Structure 1
Amino acid sequence: MRISQANADDVADLARLLWRDTLNEEPAQQSVDAFAADVAQWWTAHQHSHVAFVARLLRPEIVGMAWVALLPRVPRPGATSRLSADIQSVFVLPEHRGQGIGSALVEAASEHATRRESLRVTVHSGRKAVRVYERLGFESSRQLLYRPAR
């Protein structure tokens, strides 16, 4: 397995994985090719705040992904360039799960955030993945709250 930071050549494959990841959640509103075009535009606009990591096996196709959003925080005296990081859209093709690919992707995204001096790395996990994130060192926090959209 090879984990690397995605580049512009990977955007169409990333879009296909995002498409597959949400296919069971809601009915498709557009074709995968139209979605790939939208993701390409989004990539161009957000490539400085969002970084994707991809997993490849022996073949060149991507079998998994993990994104990390680097979010600027309000400055504090003596700390004017604070960042937080949020792991997003971790997905491994079903036929490749259970091999440590997702964990390796999350580790790569987390290490990238740490190298950028992020104060913390968060993740909004589905219930099934909570134990995986805990095994990787993530902890639950009573201080991290959310308010659902109304």
Structure 2
Amino acid sequence: MQIRKAEPLDTERLIKMRWDFTIEDHPEKEQADVHVYEKECRRFLEEAIAGDRWHIWVAERAGVIVSHIYIQLVDKVPRPGRVTRPFAYMTNVYTVPSHRGTGIGSQLLEHIHQWVKEHEYEFILVWPSEAGEPYYKKNGYTRVEEPMEYIRE
């Protein structure tokens, strides 16, 4: 298994995996216009992979991406008396079904933990699905009080 950052050549595979990830949890979304989605996702991935705010990590087996984690760095407002570091917002955590339960997701997550530690990012924030909670708990995550949100009407 190889763990690495995503590269431009990975774009088409990542587009397909995001589609599969969404359809797995929301089969009604399969009716969405795939061409509109692909165009939007391609643009996002091209900018994310080339930029420095998103970090997309992939795990490959036999040269095929089978798992990924997306991290966006979020800056915090400086505060007197301490060095302010960004935190990592983790999203789009996915392993293809045929590779689940093999430890690949946990190995990828451990790689992320080491990367966060090396760069001294303050913490990792993730909003897991109910089904994903056991995965995060076994990898050292704890539930915190839910944030508040405002949803525009």
Alignment TM-score > 0.5, same fold:
yes
TM bin (shorter chain): 0.7 to 0.9
Aligned alpha-carbon RMSD (Å): 2.0
Distance (whole Å) between structure 2 residues aligned to residue 28 and residue 112 of structure 1:
38
1:101 corresponds in structure 2 to 104
Deviation at 1:126, TM superposition (A): 0.9
CA shift digits 1:29-72 (9 cap, x unpaired): 222x6534322321233331111111111x21111111111111
What is the CA–CA distance in structure 2 between the aligned matches of 1:14 and 1:44, rounded to whole Å? 11
- Cα-to-partner distance string for 1:65-119 (whole Å, 9 max, x where unaligned): 1111111111122556520111111111111110011112222223322322211
Deviation at 1:140, TM superposition (A): 1.4
Q: Distance in 1 between matches of 2:84 and 2:39?
A: 33
Aligned counterpart for 1:40 among listed residues 38, 42, 54 = 42
Q: Does 1:72 align with 2:75?
A: yes
Residue 54 (structure 2) pairs with residue 50 (structure 1) = yes
Equivalence for 1:16: 16
Paired with 2:39 and 2:113, the residues of 1 have a C-alpha distance of 28
Q: Which residue of 2 aligns with 1:90?
A: 93
Alignment partners' CA distance in 2, 1:62 and 1:111: 21
- Using the size of structure 1 for normalisation, the TM-score is 0.85
Q: 1:140 aligns with which of 129, 138, 143?
A: 143
Greater share of helix: 2
- Matched positions, count: 147
Unaligned runs of 5+ in 2: none
Q: How do 1:122-137 and structure 2 match up within 5 A?
A: 122-137=125-140
Unpaired stretches in structure 1, ≥5 consecutive residues: none
SS of the residue 1:14 aligns to: helix
Letter in 1 for 2:137: E
Helix, strand or coil: the match of 1:27?
Answer: helix
